[in-house]
């Protein structure tokens, strides 16, 4: 008898901050919009959790940095990670992120959800005073409970905006 291991679905937070190249600053909003319009997400070669990213997993997008600190969208992962070569027409910042995944079911919320609105209730952040330490990666696996909490708050202000 062969027992197949059941594939576990993961929930993630994908983090974005500004990207500075020379004198050009790509804002977190520009980066998010570019990737969502392409139905792609991009990671560096050393990004954590790449081996776990799988079709059907879900993610919320968090924009970090001064003047941000909010969740703004959710999506479903549509592929496993793959490596690409930079294309001449891509923005400069994208060359630093050669690992890609395809994404689908993209929903941009009409309002941004500030971290402060859900911080006290998120289990994965045990040190609420220094919550920024938990957001220093490009992505983070979170439990279904935290994902659902963020999504429930976000969807209260959710719109059918789709890319």
Inside any domain, residue 4: no
Are residues 144 and 57 in contact, defined by beta-carbon separation less than 8 angstroms?
no
Inside any domain, residue 163: no
pLDDT of residue 8: 81
Inside any domain, residue 76: yes
pLDDT of residue 1: 62
pLDDT of residue 158: 54
Q: What is the CATH number of the domain that holds 128?
A: 3.10.590.10
Inside any domain, residue 161: no
Inside any domain, residue 2: no
Distance CA 14, CA 16 (A): 7
Considering its fold, how many domains does the chain have in total? 1
Q: Where are the beta strands (DSSP E) in 11-77?
A: 11-16, 19-21, 24-26, 40-43, 58-63, 70-77
pLDDT of residue 153: 84
Inside any domain, residue 6: no
Q: Which domain holds residue 102?
A: 11-156
Per-residue pLDDT of the chain (163 residues; tens, 9 = 90+): 666 656 789 999 999 999 998 899 999 999 999 999 999 999 999 999 999 999 999 999 999 999 999 999 999 999 999 999 988 888 999 999 999 999 999 999 988 999 999 999 999 999 999 999 999 899 999 999 999 999 998 777 655 555 4
């Amino acid at each position: 008898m062969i027992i197949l291991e059941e594939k576990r679905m993961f929930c993630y937070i994908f983090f974005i901050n500004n990207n500075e190249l020379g004198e050009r600053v790509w804002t977190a909003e520009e980066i998010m919009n570019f990737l969502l319009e392409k139905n792609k997400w991009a990671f560096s070669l050393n990004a954590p959790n790449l081996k776990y990213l799988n079709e059907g997993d879900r993610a919320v997008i968090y924009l970090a940095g001064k003047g941000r600190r909010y969740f703004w969208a959710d999506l479903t992962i549509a592929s496993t990670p793959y490596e690409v070569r930079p294309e001449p027409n891509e923005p400069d910042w994208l060359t630093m992120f050669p690992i890609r995944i395809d994404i689908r079911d993209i929903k941009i919320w009409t309002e941004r959800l500030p971290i402060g609105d859900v911080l006290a209730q998120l289990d994965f952040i045990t040190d609420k005073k220094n919550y920024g330490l938990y957001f220093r990666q490009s992505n983070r696996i979170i439990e279904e409970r935290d994902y659902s909490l963020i999504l429930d708050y976000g969807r209260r202000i959710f719109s059918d905006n789709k890319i």
